[in-house]
Structure 1
Amino acid sequence: MTLEERRAWIGLVVAVVGYGVYLVVVLGRADGLPLAEVDYAAPLLWTVGAGIAAAIVAEILFAIANPRASQVKDDRDREISRLGDHIAQPFMVIGAVAAMLMAMAEWAPFWIANVIYLGFVLSAVVGGIAKVIVYRAGVPEW
């Protein structure tokens, strides 16, 4: 497994687990309240921060476990990374546009923040899945 494939797997797992934890915490806090009234800011910040820290720790642990693994990026890695980013980018754009429209319509900050977070998560998950698939199946020839 190359460095970039390992990073794709780590990012994919961290995004799914982090967002799942966030949903469990926020929905658990609802307890009959409307979701827009739930305290979401701290769990959102903590899960994003913990996700970043978890990805860094996972990278370090993998490097310790397999110190001889290649740390070199080749043209194939760069092409796969570019392809994955192109596939993932629309989800960030959709999230940003949705949040902008929600802000103009004066929606509650809860919904705006959550649509942005969901856009980031979908981008990470879809991009990660695309990269993993291409690493396993090969780079498509256009």
Structure 2
Amino acid sequence: MTTTLKLNGQTHQVEAEPGTPLLWVIRDELKLTGTKFGCGVASCGACTVHLDGEPVRSCQTYVEDVDGAEITTIEGLETKVSQAVQAAWVELDVVQCGYCQSGQIMSAVGLLTENPKPTVEDIDDYMNGNACRCATYQRIRAAILRASDMMEA
């Protein structure tokens, strides 16, 4: 089956069987490896991408369901919000092993796009479901708050 993907601003024609997770098309067919495989059941968030601006788990989003949709991966983030999030991540040295961080960043950008001034409770609620094996949750939360402040400046 041929599917048209709009990925990071470029249009791609891909061949994939129905039921193929978007994650594998992004990684295996399009060779963008920033989006990670974590659990395969949409529980950990490592595979988070934006679909028409909304964070989704690409391991449970099927290629036939995204024909013509706008998909953004960690490699394609270029907004003011994403720049603030990435700068805050670096400033506060959030990353430990780094495996989950692309998914964490994609979710954080989704949160701050929707709610530029979240409370700690808003962050905890929105980021629930993004697992970090290294337990850097305090630094992630602090970086989201810092990114929010940076966006105001």
TM-score w.r.t. length of structure 1: 0.31
- Higher RCO structure, 1 or 2 (CA under 8 Å, sep 6+): 1
TM-score w.r.t. length of structure 2: 0.30
Whichever of the two has the greater Rg, that structure is: 1
